[in-house]
Amino acid sequence: MTDTPWLDDAQLAAWVRLFALVELLPGTLDSQMRRDAGITQFDYYVLAMLSEAPEATLRMTSLAQLTNSTLARLSHVVQRLEQRGLVERHPCPEDRRATNARLTEAGKETVARAAPGHVATVRQHVIDALTPEQVAQLTTILDAVLVRLDPEDRMGAMYKRYDVN
């Protein structure tokens, strides 16, 4: 016998809905991105993070942190993007042991082309389903969960820069 505090009906109802969202949303976003831009959702995420960086350039370690990726996974994705001419890698001028990734002009064009469809999909499936008050509540709820999932605030730089407060 365990001392596990089982979820009550209300908690279970919330949990299974969150689980369904976590399972369904990535596939929806990825399908739209593949259909409209010929890239994966993660590819877009990498390109978008580079597009927002100064000089469209980041150290691979910083890019891995922003995208919550391992360096091995990110290196594989960046290599694929590099082969398509969307990203280029070069030694970091401040530390030759490090590698920087830079968005190319073709990469900037890809992000610019892909962004409207991405935003439309996010609106259609998430934002427009909520009232402005619910959007604010969702932010508060997600902050409460993220502080437990990411106590070291590894991804905080990615999402806190959009805070309106």
Instruction: Note whether 50 and 104 are same-domain residues.
Output: yes
> For residue 165, is pLDDT > 90?
no
* Element spanning 58, H or E: strand 57-59
Structure tokens at 29: 């976003």
Average pLDDT (118-132) is 97
Domain match, 93 and 47 both: yes
Q: What is the pLDDT of residue 1?
A: 58
Do 79 and 147 fall into the same domain?
no
Going from the C-alpha of 162 to that of each of 38, 44, 73, 78, the distances in angstroms are 27, 18, 26, 25
Question: Are residues 76 and 101 part of one domain?
Answer: yes
Specify whether 47 is located in the same domain as 109: yes
107, 135: one domain: no
Going by the DSSP 8-state scheme, the letter that residue 56 receives in this structure is G
- Provide the token pair at 41: 């959702």
Q: What is the mean pLDDT of residues 62-80?
A: 95
Q: What's the rounded mean pLDDT across residues 78-94?
A: 95
Residue 126: CB atoms within 10 Å: 15
Within a domain: 145: yes
Q: Is residue 65 part of a domain?
A: yes
pLDDT at residue number 122: 97
pLDDT at 2 over 80: no
User: In this structure, what DSSP letter does residue 84 have?
Assistant: T
User: Is it the case that residue 111 has pLDDT exceeding 90?
Assistant: yes
Total tally of structural domains belonging to the chain: 2
Residue 115 pLDDT grade (very low, low, confident, very high; cuts 50, 70, 90): very high
Sign of the C-alpha dihedral, residues 53, 56, 61, 65?
positive
pLDDT at 96 over 90: no
Domain of residue 44, residue span: 31-114
